[in-house]
Structure 1
Amino acid sequence: MANESNGTEQASLTRGERVRAAARTLRTPRTASWVADETGVSVKTAQKYLEQLVEDNVLQKIEQGEQTLYCVDQLMATYREVAALQREHDREELTTAAESIRSKITDWKASYDVETPGELRASIADLDDSDEIETRREAASEWEHLNDRLPIVRAALNEYDWAAKRDTISV
């Protein structure tokens, strides 16, 4: 098995659990053969569980020539993330999170006199101070992360009432 560091943990999981766990991390499209190698199962077993995950809208299947590739269905993952935010946080907490994200980004723009995380990363080329370089790298990385998070928080807020009405169980 390619992932020896998790050998003990992997051994306690069933074949299906190993494939499902590996599949949920597929940001780069991979073949069933690759997943089989990573999880220590046959290609046929990997294909079986990967196809189930495609049917469950967890994975996306991509036909590329003669190859079939699988990766996380980002649209569905985003929907699940929005739903989780709506269930775990009230509207005020989500509003505060959005404000905090915008405030941090505004502060970085002002502090470093840049408009994007890419510009902040580019500014590192002009520096000699290793502490300042690391500080800017960390800020750029967090800025990129927050740029990805903000639309998800906004979506959770935009559809909060709609989701709350549909998330109640009728008895």
Structure 2
Amino acid sequence: MVEDNVLRKIEQGDQTLYCVDQLMAIYREVATLQREHSREELTSALDSMRSTITDWKRSYDAETPGELRASIADLDDADEVEERRKVASEWEHLDDRIPIVRAALNEYDWATDRDSISA
């Protein structure tokens, strides 16, 4: 799996550790997005993610998921606490996804030109 760039091998003293090769995992995810979605679908997804985050910033008066989580300390309503935790987790997920979708869009033409089979 190390040879296939799925895992990274890390030597620490006399121990050998293996972990997921995050860079290669991201490359694979970018390629999957480019192969499975049109440029318009990716653009719409990116716009939707950014709009959702903008709505959360306005709704919760928070600039980051961390600020939203911190606001939980001031609440007594268990349902509102749970809702903010859920939104903060979703926000973090979208923050992680946006650069990946953006990378897929940035290199869309380059990748699709090289990924197609020419006759």
Which of these residues, 76, 93, 99, is aligned with residue 151 of structure 1? 99
Aligned AA (1:101): M
Identity over the aligned pairs, expressed in percent? 80
The yes-or-no answer on 1:79 pairing with 2:27 is yes
TM-score of the aligned structures, taking structure 2 as reference length: 0.98
Q: Does 2:14 align with 1:62?
A: no
What aligned pairs does 1:127-142 form with structure 2 within 5 A after superposition? 127-142=75-90
Q: Please state how far the C-alpha of 1:170 moved relative to its aligned partner.
A: 3.0
Give, as a single letter, the amino acid of the residue that structure 2 aligns with 1:136.
R
Size of the aligned set, in residue pairs, is 119
* Cα distance per residue 1:106-145 (max 9 Å; x no partner): 0111111111000000000000000100000000000000
Secondary structure class of the residue paired with 2:2? helix
Question: How far did 1:65 drift?
Answer: 1.1
* Corresponding residue for residue 114 of structure 2: 166
Partners of 1:127 and 1:63 lie apart in 2 by 46
Q: Which has more radius of gyration?
A: 1
Deviations for 1:52-108, whole angstroms, at most 9, x for unmatched residues?
x00010101111111100011000000000000000000000000000000011011
Stretches of structure 2 lacking an aligned partner (at least 5 in a row): none
**Distance in 2, Cα, partners of 1:118 & 1:156:** 27
Match of 1:94 among 42, 56, 59: 42
Which structure 1 segments of 5+ residues have no match? 1-52
Misfit runs of 4+, over 4 Å: none
The RMSD of aligned alpha carbons is 0.6
